[in-house]
Each structure stands twice: as C-alpha cells, then as structure tokens.
Amino acid sequence: MKLGFVGLGNMGLPMAKSLLSAGHEVAVWNRTPARGEPLVKQGARVVASPAEAAKGAEVVFSMLADDSAAEAVALGPQGIITGLSKGAVHVSSSTISVALSQRLTDAHASADQGYVAAPVFGRPEAAESKQLWVVAAGTKADVERCRPLLEALGRGLTVLGEQASMANVVKLSGNFLIASMLESLAEAFAFTRKSGIEPKQFLELFQAVFARSPIFERYAQAIAEEKYSPAGFAMRLGLKDVGLVLEAARTAEVPMPLASLVRDQYLGGVAQGHGDLDWSALGALVAERAGLPKAR
Amino acid sequence: MKLGFVGLGNMGLPMAKSLLSAGHEVAVWNRTPARGEPLVKQGARVVASPAEAAKGAEVVFSMLADDSAAEAVALGPQGIITGLSKGAVHVSSSTISVALSQRLTDAHASADQGYVAAPVFGRPEAAESKQLWVVAAGTKADVERCRPLLEALGRGLTVLGEQASMANVVKLSGNFLIASMLESLAEAFAFTRKSGIEPKQFLELFQAVFARSPIFERYAQAIAEEKYSPAGFAMRLGLKDVGLVLEAARTAEVPMPLASLVRDQYLGGVAQGHGDLDWSALGALVAERAGLPKAR
Amino acid sequence: MKLGFVGLGNMGLPMAKSLLSAGHEVAVWNRTPARGEPLVKQGARVVASPAEAAKGAEVVFSMLADDSAAEAVALGPQGIITGLSKGAVHVSSSTISVALSQRLTDAHASADQGYVAAPVFGRPEAAESKQLWVVAAGTKADVERCRPLLEALGRGLTVLGEQASMANVVKLSGNFLIASMLESLAEAFAFTRKSGIEPKQFLELFQAVFARSPIFERYAQAIAEEKYSPAGFAMRLGLKDVGLVLEAARTAEVPMPLASLVRDQYLGGVAQGHGDLDWSALGALVAERAGLPKAR
Amino acid sequence: MKLGFVGLGNMGLPMAKSLLSAGHEVAVWNRTPARGEPLVKQGARVVASPAEAAKGAEVVFSMLADDSAAEAVALGPQGIITGLSKGAVHVSSSTISVALSQRLTDAHASADQGYVAAPVFGRPEAAESKQLWVVAAGTKADVERCRPLLEALGRGLTVLGEQASMANVVKLSGNFLIASMLESLAEAFAFTRKSGIEPKQFLELFQAVFARSPIFERYAQAIAEEKYSPAGFAMRLGLKDVGLVLEAARTAEVPMPLASLVRDQYLGGVAQGHGDLDWSALGALVAERAGLPKAR
C-alpha cells in the first residue's frame, strides 16, 4: 500500500520501520527531518510536510507526543487534512485527549476522509520487536481497510467500535491502571522498607505471589461482570486489613494516601450496608458514585 | 510431628488437612467443635481448648479472623500460652496487626516458648490444593524447625528474618496492593463503561495487555532498586496522561479519586523538578515523604 | 459616566442597578432582553448586542456564568471587542478561568482597549445591598479609571496589580476555601450525628467557638508569614488528634476522606522531622511540594 | 469547694489558677512537682499522687497530653480512681479518644464515682484569661454539680447530654475543622504565591472577606438543617469553579490534593443527579456515604 507516516519519535520511528518491513511504500515526515534518514535505506521517502506525507496515500499514520503537536500536524496549515485524498484514512496512534480525537473525527468526516484512532500499548522496545498491542476504533470500513497495517505493528489488535475516541478512552485507562499500580507499589515499598524489610526481599515475594498470578485477572473479571457475591473475601475484612496497614504505617511514620483512600471507600461501603459483599465490590461503589445504573 | 491446630475456619480447615495428609499427628480446636469432625477420619483429635491443643505439641498453629480472636486463643485463659511446653513453637498464620504480633513474640519469649509469624497468601481454594504462599519470620531455630510444616501448606515459602512481625508487615502490604488494584480497576471500569465501552471489551483488553504481562514486575523492580533514570516513560508524560484521564472522566461525569491522587503526586514531582525521571519515580516521592533516606 | 453592562443574571442585574443608582448612564444587554426591563425605569437603555452596549461607553462591564458565555460576549461576532472604543475599558466580573482572563487581556490590548478583571465575593443578596467585595487587577491607569465604579458595587475593593488574571486566581482561591470548608463541615456533621449528637447542638457550638472567632485569621497570618515556630500546638499533636478523629469515625462507620488527607499530611511532616513545628506548618509542606522556595 | 487538679501543663496550670482564683481549695499534682509551686502562693496544696489529689475532693480535674498519660493518672496505681470518694466526680478535660472516655465512664461508674468529660476549646493564653469554651457531657447530676467550676474556667459552656464521651467527639471534631482549614489555607497560599500574588495581599483579602464574615456560619446552618434547596450557588457551579482552580494550579504546578478531593465529591454529586442543589449539599453526600438516613 501507499502510506504516509508523520512523527518519528521513539515510538513512531520503529512503527514506521514495521510498516516498511511489511513491504509498504511509506512517505515519512518529522519536524527534524534527520530522524527519517535511517528509514531511507529501507525505501522510505522523506517529505517536507505532513500534507505531503498524506498526498496520494491510502492511509497516513501519525504518532506525536501530545495534543498540541497532534492537532498541528493534522489540522494546521500544511496539515494532513490538507493533503489527504477523499476516501483515504488518517490513523492517529498518539495518546491524545478524548476531546481532540472527537474533533479529528469530525474534521476528517467534513473533508470526506476517514479517521481511525489506534493508540498502542508498549514501550519503544516493544515497537521495535513488533510486540505492541493496538486498540483501534473507527467506522467498520475504515478499520477493516487498515487492519493488515495495524496487525503489522504488533502482537495483537483489539477493535472497539465505530466511535474512534473510544480507543483513546481505553488507552488512557490503561495508563491510569499502570500509574495507580506505581503509586501502590511506591507506598508498599516505603512501608516495608521503613518497617525494616529489604526491598529485594519484598520484590522476591511480589514476583512470587503477584506478578505472574491470575489475581488481577480474576478481580477484573468480577468487576466487569459485577459479580460481588458470594464473597471470596468480604469487604468487612478488606476494611480490617487496610486499617491494619494504616495503623502499622502510622507507627512506622509512612504516609500512605492511597491506602487511606481505599480505607475510606471500604468504610463507606460497610457503613452503607455492603460489608458482606466481596471486597472487589469497590466496583459497585465507584460505579454508583458515577451515576451508573446498579448491577443487575 | 505432634502438632496442634487452633481455628478451623475457611482457611484453617484446609490448612489442618494439609498437615494431616503430610503425616502429622494433629490435635484440633475450634470455637464450634463440629467444624473439626471432618478431620477426625483423617486422624485428627478434637480437643476442648486451645491450651489442650498446645499440650504436648512441638508446634501449634493458629488461624483466626482478627486481632481479638487471635489474642484470645493465644493469651486468654485456656489459651495456647498456658498449654504449650517450653521450647515448643506457636505458628500464627492469622492476618493480624503488627502490634499484636510483637506482643505475641514477647509473651511467648517470656514463657520460654518460640513464636513464628507465618501468614499466607491465597484463598480457601488455594489452601485446599496446597497452593498457598507462606511468608514466615521468627528466630532462625524456630523457623527452621517449622520449615517442613510450612512447606507442606503451599507452593512456596519466603523467610524474612528474625523479627516475627515482619511477616505481618509483608502480608498486610500484599493485601494493600490487591485492594489498591481493586480501586483502580473499579475506577477504570466505571470510566470506560460510562464512556460507552462494554465491560467485556475492556476486560478482554486488560487480559491481553496487563494480566499476563511483566509490566508490574518490571516496575516493582525499578522501585525496589530505586532506578528511575533514564526514563522509559517520563513523569512529565505520566502527568499529562493522567490529566487527560481526569479531563475525559470529568466530561463523562465519573469521579476518580485515585486518579486525582496520582495526578497530584505527579504534579508535585514535576513541580519539584523531577519531571524527567521515569514515572515509576513515585517510589522516590513516597519514600521521601516517609522520611526515608534518598536513593543512593 | 457612560457605561455598558452585559449579562443580567442573578448577580449582574443588581450590579447594574448599583451603577445606575450611582448616577451613571448604562446601556444593558442580556441574552433574554426581558431581564433588562426592570432597569429601564431607573434610566437604563436596553440594546441589541454586546457590541452595542460597548459602543460609546467609557467602561463596559460583563458578568456571565462561565467561560464559554464570557468568551462569546467578549470576543464573538457582535462581541464587546467589536464595539468598544480605543482607550475604553472592559471590566470582566465573571468567575472565569485564569487562561481565558489572559486571552481577554491580550485581545483587548491588541485592539488598544483596556481590560480589568474584577470578580466579586458575595451572593445576589450582597449585590443587591451593595455589600460585595471586589478584587481588581489590570494596568494602573485602567484600574484607577474604574475605581469609583468598582467602589459603587460593594463594601470594599482590593487592587492586586497590573496582571489582570491575578484577580481571577484570587477569586478562584476564595471559592476553593469555601468549598473546602463545606467538605470539612460535611464530614464533621456526619461524624457527630452518627456518634449521637444533634446537628443543632453541634451548630450552636460551632457558632460559639468558630464562626466569630479570630482562629482562622490568626492561622492565615501564620501561613502568610511562614511563621511556624515556636509551636502554639505542635504538628505532632495535630497528628494525634486527627488520628483520634479517624479512629472514632471508624467505629461510628463514617468515611472522612478529608480527615484522612490531613492525617497523611501531618504524618509526612512528622516523618520528615517537622513534628515540633506548629500544626499550621501544613503551609510549609504544601509549599515545598509545589516547588516553592523554603521559608526564610 | 474542695477540689483536686491533676496535670499542670500549658493548659492545666492556668485552668487550676482559674479555680483557685474563684475561691476554691485545690490540691494539685504534676509529674514534675515544681510546676505546682507558683500555685502555692494562691493557696494550692502540692500533693504526691493523683490519688492524693482526689482524696477528700468533691471534684477532681485532670488535664493531660494524651491517652496513655490520661489513663495512667486515672486508672493506674495511685490513680484518681483509687483516691476518689464515692459520689465524688472526676472531670477529664484532656483531649483523649472516644474509646478511653467510655472506659473512664465505666470504670468510675463501677467505683460509684461520677465522671464528666469536659474538654476545652482555646489555647494557653485563652486559659490564662478565662476565655476557654468548655464542652461538657455526663449524667445530669454530675454536670450540674460541676457547672460553677466549668463556668469559672472560660467564657462559655455547652452541655451535651448524659453520655460523657460525646464531649470528646465534639472536641475532636473541632480540632478536625481547624486542621482542615489549615490544609485549605496552605493550598490556597501555595497556589496564589506560585501564581505571583504576595501572601500579604491574599491575607488582607482573606481578612476582609472571610475572617469576620458570617459565611461559614450560614453554611454550617445549612448542613445542620439539611437545607440544600433552593440553591444559593449550585453544586454544578461549585464543580466548575473548583475545576478552574485545579486547571490553573496545574499550569502553575501546585498540587492541591484537597481541591482534588472536593472536586471529586462535586463530580459524584453531579453524576448522581444533584447538580442543582446548593453546593453545601456536600453535607448530604457525606452523610449518605456514612449510612445516615436521608434528609427529610
């Protein structure tokens, strides 16, 4: 296929490589053009603007660092939208706001162009070794047209539906899950260290008990299915244990704001009469506060 | 060996079974004695008090629901301490407070008895199938003496050191990690659901990207080793992405207090000049606030 | 003076009245023109657009509900900027974002017009009885020119400096202080009620001890001057007392997330060695996390 | 009256003075006896134990720094309980836990002695100038007997009911309100400072608008009476304004965790359909989460 690729940063460069090595013809653009040179020997053509990268392409990818860069290359003067043919598709892999993704959807639709949001999970090394996981959304025709390209980028692809920005919601949720885990690890290591346990020891245990276990998967399923009863471990007990954490951390002088937050959630759940549900019923408490309908 | 087992709840019962099936002689006690009957055909002897379960035993286990029950069976009238021989060991597997574990250490030491804290990771099903992971701490002699028993309970054993209550710190930290993950999953599912994504779809993605990936393991290692530079993904970008989550969740009307907490941590990190460290440097921010010495 | 007034909502209407009753000539505009009729008998002239309200005026006020309305009447087609004479001043009293206030500053400057941000503290009743407190910022010349008008609106005026958006920062901070107090009152009433105390009784005590006392004023001064030593009440004791609150609220089953947050702040302060500073040294902890230079 | 006074710290010393200057006969005890000497010339008698201070007294006061000190002087060997006559009353003014206050109630009742909890609001200076506000609870007979003494300590007295520990709940709630206000002031000053506003300027405004205004009183009343409608300022607008604070603080790089918490509360309220209630309806949200019955 004839493709364009806009944005050759740590992620974009290896992604463009993957498309080249899958045999496609790729016109590349980057703010600093030198970034594209290593791709020339693989057959890439370095062009002078996003518009030019889009010109004549069936599909043009973009992979930028933030909203303002992504908006500029798409909608700015000499932007993708000005060069892309009617019927061709812009695939945006940047981690951008849901609001901007919606604006891009609308702008391309007005220009009779297609738009697919296709953010990726994985680091530059994963991009290099085609181990990314791609999450895509857009109209069925557009997504199907891009499917072989998206599959060439990584080890898997999840297609979400017709509203492109849904893919951004999911990507952002994934990064939120990681950031939360980082905070909880940060607090757990500070607590154990200050209580006199070597980080290396706690790490070994973490690897043995958590890292490869299906714990998180099982709980994610419980929350997805809103199945909180019968309790495997009751919210009442969760409240007790997180309370014990805070008590010991108080003694060790370790502030654990995430532990406090979780304790307050459990305390609210118990106060409202849900103490006998499984402790994963945090899912129900959070959903209720979001105004979601109750679990069936 | 001649053993005692006190507390035959959902966890205690299968644990006692494991010890019986490993060929030991076990005297069992439970508040409601009927719970012990299924064990009789495996050779267990049902006795009338914790003290009696301890009498003549080399090692007596206890597995109770909370501090007050654990304290009563250990130190109360007719408690383990009154029946246990000098030199024999009390292994406490209950999830109890660090403070109570220290009191039990002292009380048994005063009575010339040994004390090992050995809480377990795993649900009743894991206990049933000997898949628990045991974390033990106590004096070297006591722990070594109990080692074959602890190994008979599960699939692995981590020994932590001479101060028994360290094992309770680690067990509580583990439960804290799970509870935190539950809260973050709860918020992520509420956010994606309210944005129009089927929980089943998000679950599939979670399973593909997170559940079996080494993501958490790698980050736990970074925090354990306090290695936050060079950044794989900079704190500045973490701040941006969690900010985008909150922005979209604002629009969808989903309160995400954990996301807010994490955002504020990142914002503080960036404000204090750490924006270019890896986003796992939450580890450094939390440790600093706990008064821990800076990373080397 | 010849004035314009744009936006006759619950706040705008009585503010326009105050200007009329101070003897000024006022052209008024509102989305639904009927709102302006009561002002006609006081001499107001109802006009057809924000631009027309600005036409020929020395000063035009605007008072709208949010950013999008405030931006539309100022910069939209038929907006204030299109009607205002060179050298005349737009006074924006709306509670808007700092960013929009900066954009308005720039836009009016480009058009050789003046811009003063002058948000107000007080409810409609206070506007009616000229009891508002006005916070104004803008170039000295512009503010001085508007001073008699701003003084006619309320009981007091604070002038902040040449950067207009500073007034918006202060207005937003004031609303934040009120919202925080609401949350703390909400938690205190829930805690006392659930502990068995009549809200009426707690209210009486609050009125006697807090409402008319100089407590908050003294503490605000300590934080403003960064004077945390010698301690009147040490952070260590603050930690103890908030800990006791959480303990009792745990028993009463009342989640108090704000109390948890404050406890974690104090715990961090104590862990970092500041336990003997006054408990108002939260000021220092928060400032440090914001990357502000340490107190002298 | 014949009185005892146990604990002559920064608060206890001036309180004992007030009782002496009201003409009572007072036996005083302090861990370091030298603290009592200045009182001797006012007629105080320094004794060797809490028990001795209680001996022969109609009422004995205690004022200690924390639970462990308060428990030791009351219930320890040579404690108040061992010296106090049947029918005499122990007035505890210490800021102690609700749980300890209940234990003291029970212990004194078992010994046929009375117990009144009477913590005080005010600093040492207020104690010195008899400006404390006293909150008392206990059986009617006991409180009435002590009334003249309690009134001699300060400028006002609130009597709460027959359950002594209620007074402790109220005292702790008061300290919680102050600590919350400190956190919100800390965040507001950090935000304004980092935005370029002199702390002195913001302080002046705070003094003008908040410190002497009836704002908090009015809102406390709304929450006490659960009157959230019609809205003076709607929750929807509160959400908007706190959102604008966070947005500007994001730009200025100031983490404001309390602002985040309040924003999430408002967002939950709006998501659950309460956006048109007054923003003081945080009272309803918090109460609901505590399992309290809905407002009538």
Q: What is the pLDDT of residues C73-111, one digit of tens each?
A: 999 999 999 999 999 999 999 999 999 999 999 999 999
Beta bridge partners of D136: D159
Cα–Cα distance for residue pair B270/B119, rounded to 1 Å: 39
What are the chain D neighbours of A290 within 8 Å (beta carbons)?
268, 271
For range C241-254, the mean pLDDT: 90
Percent of chain C at pLDDT > 90 equals 81
D177/chain A closest Cα distance in angstroms: 18
What residues does CATH 1.10.1040.10 cover in chain A? 169-289
Q: In 3D, which of D215, D260, D267 has the Cα closest to residue D240?
A: D267
Query: In Å, how far is D168's CA from the nearest CA of chain A?
Result: 21
First to last CA, chain C: 48
Superfamily of domain B214-289: N-(1-d-carboxylethyl)-l-norvaline Dehydrogenase; domain 2 (1.10.1040.10)
CATH 3.40.50.720 segments of chain D: 2-169
Q: Do C272 and B291 touch (CB under 8 A)?
A: yes
Q: What is the ipTM of this complex?
A: 0.91
List pLDDT tens digits, range A143-182. 999 999 999 999 999 999 999 999 999 999 999 998 998 9
Average of per-residue pLDDT across C176-202: 91
**Contact of A83 with A54, CB cutoff 8 Å:** yes
Q: What is the 3-state secondary structure (H, E, C) of chain A?
A: CEEEEECCCCCHHHHHHHHHHCCCEEEEECCCHHHHHHHHCCCCEECCCHHHHHCCCCEEEECCCCHHHHHHHHHCCCCHHHHCCCCCEEEECCCCCHHHHHHHHHHHHHCCCEEEECCEECCHHHHHCCCEEEEEECCHHHHHHHHHHHHHHEEEEEECCCCCHHHHHHHHHHHHHHHHHHHHHHHHHHHHHHCCCCHHHHHHHHHHHHHCCCHHHHHHHHHHHCCCCCCCCEHHHHHHHHHHHHHHHHHHCCCCHHHHHHHHHHHHHHHCCCCCCEHHHHHHHHHHHCCCCCCC
Q: Cα torsion for A192, A198, A202, A208, to the nearest 10°?
A: -170
Spatial contact of B231 and A124, defined as CB atoms under 8 Å apart: no
Looking only at the bridges linking them, the beta strands covering B45-46 and B25-29 are parallel
Q: How far is C68 from chain D (nearest CA, A)?
A: 12
Residue-level pLDDT at C295: 58
Beta-carbon count within 10 A of B216 CB: 24
Domain range C169-289, CATH architecture: Orthogonal Bundle (1.10)
Distances (CA, A) of C214 to B215, C57, C226, D69: 53, 44, 18, 31
Q: Tell me D49's DSSP state.
A: S
Determine the residue of chain D that is closest to C97 in CA distance: D244
Indicate the class that CATH gives domain C2-164: alpha beta
Distance CA D51, CA C150 (A): 67
How many other C-beta atoms can be found within 10 angstroms of the C-beta atom of residue C247?
A: 16
Per-residue tokens: B159: 């020994």
Option in A249, A250, A264 nearest C257 (CB): A264
Catalytic residues of C: 171
List CB contacts of A64: < 8 A, sequence separation 6 or more.
Answer: A6, A7, A9, A12, A70, A73, A94, A96
Mutation target for D interface from C201, C286, C288: give the one with most D CBs within 10 A.
C286
Q: Name the residues of D annotated as catalytic.
A: 171
Q: Could you give the strand order of the β-sheet that contains D132-136, starting from the edge strand earlier in sequence?
A: D120-121, D132-136, D154-159
Q: Count other Cβ atoms within 10 Å, centred on residue A56.
A: 16
- CA nearest neighbour of D137 among D113, D161, D119, D114: D161
Cβ–Cβ gap B255/D268 under 8 Å:
yes
Interface with chain C: mutation pick from A235, A250, A270, A274, highest number of C CBs within 10 Å: A250
B51 Cβ contact partners less than 8 Å away, ≥ 6 residues apart: B78, B79, B80, B82, B83
Residues of B in contact with C289 (CB under 8 A): 268, 271-272
**Fold type of domain D2-169:** Rossmann fold (3.40.50)
Report whether C114 contacts C138 (CB < 8 A).
yes
Q: Is B111 helix (H, G, I), strand (E, B) or coil?
A: coil
Identify residue B215 by its one-letter amino acid code: I
Strand, coil or helix: what is C112?
Answer: coil
Q: Which of A171, A227, A240, A294 is catalytic?
A: A171
Q: Report the Cα A211 to chain-centroid distance in Å.
A: 20
CB pairs under 8 A between A and C: 41
The predicted structure's pLDDT at residue D295: 58
> How far, in Å, CA of C223 to CA of C282, rounded?
8
pLDDT in tens, D118-138: 999 988 989 999 999 999 999
Please report the pLDDT score of residue A213 as a whole number.
66
Mean pLDDT of chain C: 93
Q: Which of A18-22, A135-139, D151-155, D178-182 has the lowest mean pLDDT?
A: D178-182
Neighbour subunits, B (≥3 Cβ pairs < 8 A): A, C, D
State pLDDT tens for residues B104-154: 999 999 999 999 999 999 889 899 999 999 999 999 999 999 999 999 999
Report the residue of chain B nearest C291, measured CA to CA. B272
| Predicted confidence (pLDDT) at residue A107 exceeds the cutoff of 70 | yes
H/E segment holding residue C115: strand C114-117
Per-residue pLDDT at B293? 84
A2-163 CATH fold: Rossmann fold (3.40.50)
Q: Mean per-residue pLDDT for B213-231? A: 85
> What is the number of H-type helices and E-type strands within chain D?
14, 9
Q: What is the pLDDT of residue B206?
A: 86
Alpha-carbon span D18 to A7, nearest angstrom: 77
- Going by C-alpha positions, the residue among C25, C29, C56, C61 that lies closest to residue C43 is C25
Per the model's pLDDT, the better-predicted residue between D238 and D208 turns out to be D238
Task: Give bridge partners of residue C159 from the DSSP assignment.
Answer: C136
Chain B nearest CA to A265, separation (Å):
9
Which residues lie across from C26 on neighbouring strands?
C3
Tell me the average pLDDT across D58-70.
Answer: 96
- Virtual CA dihedral for D252, D256, D262, D268, nearest 10 degrees? 70
For chain A, give the mean pLDDT: 93
Is the per-residue pLDDT at A134 higher than 80? yes
When mean pLDDT is compared across B195-204, C131-140, D77-86, the lowest value belongs to B195-204
Q: In angstroms, how far is CA A201 from the centroid of its own chain?
A: 31
Contact D264 B254 (CB under 8 A): no
- Chain A neighbors of D273, CB-CB under 8 A: 291
Which segments of chain A belong to CATH 3.40.50.720?
Answer: 2-163
C187/D286 Cβ within 8 A? yes
Amino acid sitting at position C21: S
pTM for the model: 0.90
What is the DSSP-derived secondary structure letter of residue D65? S
Q: Interhelix angle for C282-289 vs D165-194, to 10°? A: 40
